[in-house]
Structure 1
Amino acid sequence: MLDAIKGVSKSNKIGLFINSCFAHCQSERQDTWFADDSHMIQDKSVALSR
């Protein structure tokens, strides 16, 4: 399955976030993305990372 995204991993201009769904309905609920205990990427919440 991850072979399908190999082209993205070689780019330094675009990225890809793989949602591992640490909570049910995470993608639909803002309170999960912006929660104090939300996962972090480079010291930013997932909701604010880019």
Structure 2
Amino acid sequence: MRRVRNYRADDRDQIKAAGAFSEAIQYRTRLFLPTHKARGKVEALVAMRA
């Protein structure tokens, strides 16, 4: 799994809609992408922001 880092809180819902899942670790929400799908999901997120 790949952790999604340095995202804005406003983007959390879009990232989760693209296939990420969240976990609360040490009272902070962390987002993760499955490794085998990470590249395509990141490309989709970048395209949404453009």
TM-score (norm: length of structure 1): 0.25
Max radius of gyration: which structure? 1
TM-score normalized with structure 2 length: 0.25
